[in-house]
Amino acid sequence: MSTPPPWLAGVVPALHGDLPDWFTRFAPPPEAERESAVLMLFGERPGSDPTDPVVEVVLTERGSALSSHAGQVSFPGGRLDPGEDATTAALREAQEEVGLDPASVDVVGVFPPLYLSPSRNSVYPVLAWWREPHDLHIASPFEVASIERVAVADLVDPASRFTVRVGDEYEGYGFDVHGLFVWGFTAHLLEVFLDAAGQTVPWDEEHVRSLPWKYLRPFVERRAERSSDDL
């Protein structure tokens, strides 16, 4: 059993007290078709030095057959069922996807919702501390291809950081950890969280990488569709 470090416990009030522009620019519009929640689950690595514990976050690689954001790295999560709040949905989805015991978790707080336009989805990030870590497993192979517990120290390592750029269509944060190419919504949420927690260190933002083809393909297809519409 463990307690969250002060830097994690202070993230939610820090964000609400000085809300990053990202939350304003991507606030859900009235036409958002559904609501979802993701669980940003942090905890101590089992067996690490109790005087200087390694803090990890749980990330998943989404199933390749999903209709949206297939194959991308994400936090456990999914759609709110009728009558659910964001916290209940995030914990339920994590249990269904990776076998998390909700009783092992203390919820720290909920961030303002963010809008993912490709799926017309309003997403509530739920921050939680994994008080009693246990083994996880892929409980829903259709939704989850792999599970990784990534140290915060590895995320903030400048060698793991880069900028993702797709022509003039997209530019954002990227992380290369445990063989995962983390970009898009998940990478930006991690960056905002780490910055609010005071955990970021300087890194080379001019280090640019392009998207692997499995992520780049939707950009190419949309470009082709726009060209076809102009004919």
Q: Please provide the DSSP assignment of 58-97 as one string.
A: EEEEEPTT-SSSTT-EE-SEEEPPTT--HHHHHHHHHHHH
Compute the distance between CA of residue 146 and CA of residue 138 in angstroms, rounded to an integer.
7
- Could you confirm whether domain 6-225 is CATH 3.90.79.10? yes
Closest listed residue to residue 43, CA positions, set 78, 84, 94: 94
Check pLDDT > 60 for residue 230. Answer: no
Span 154-173, average pLDDT = 93
pLDDT tens for 29-45 read 887 778 999 999 999 99
- What pLDDT does residue 143 have? 81
Q: Which amino acid is at 174?
A: G
Per the listing, tokens 């509530």 go with 124
Question: Residue 155 in contact with residue 135, Cβ under 8 Å?
Answer: no
pLDDT at 202: 96
d(CA 114, CA 204): 27
- Residue 6 is predicted with a pLDDT of 92
**What integer best gives the mean pLDDT of the chain?**
89
- In the predicted structure, residue 146 carries a pLDDT above the cut 80: yes
Residue 224 has pLDDT above 70, yes or no: no
Distance between CA atoms of residues 191 and 195, nearest Å: 6
Higher pLDDT, 229 or 174: 174
Q: What is the pLDDT, as a whole number, of residue 173?
A: 97
228 or 18, higher pLDDT: 18
Q: How far apart are the first and last CA of the chain?
A: 63
Q: How many CA atoms lie within 13 A of 67 on its CB side?
A: 4
Closest by Cα among 215, 191, 212, 211 to 203: 191
Is the pLDDT at 222 greater than 80? The verdict is no
Q: Mean pLDDT across the stretch 138-149?
A: 89
The pLDDT > 90 percentage for the chain reads 66
The whole-number pLDDT of residue 117 equals: 82
More confident residue, 116 or 186: 186
Element housing 219 (H / E): helix 213-229
**Do the beta carbons of residue 76 and residue 41 sit within 8 Å?**
yes
User: Is 66's pLDDT higher than 60?
Assistant: no
Question: What pLDDT is recorded for position 128?
Answer: 97
pTM of the model: 0.90
Does 67 have pLDDT greater than 60?
Answer: no
pLDDT of residue 155: 97
Question: Which range has the worst mean pLDDT, 50-64, 101-115, 128-142, 194-208?
Answer: 50-64
Sign of the torsion angle spanned by Cα atoms 104, 108, 112, 118: negative
Tell me, what's the pLDDT at 30? Answer: 83
Segment 76-121, tens digit of pLDDT = 999 999 999 999 999 999 999 999 999 999 999 999 999 988 778 8
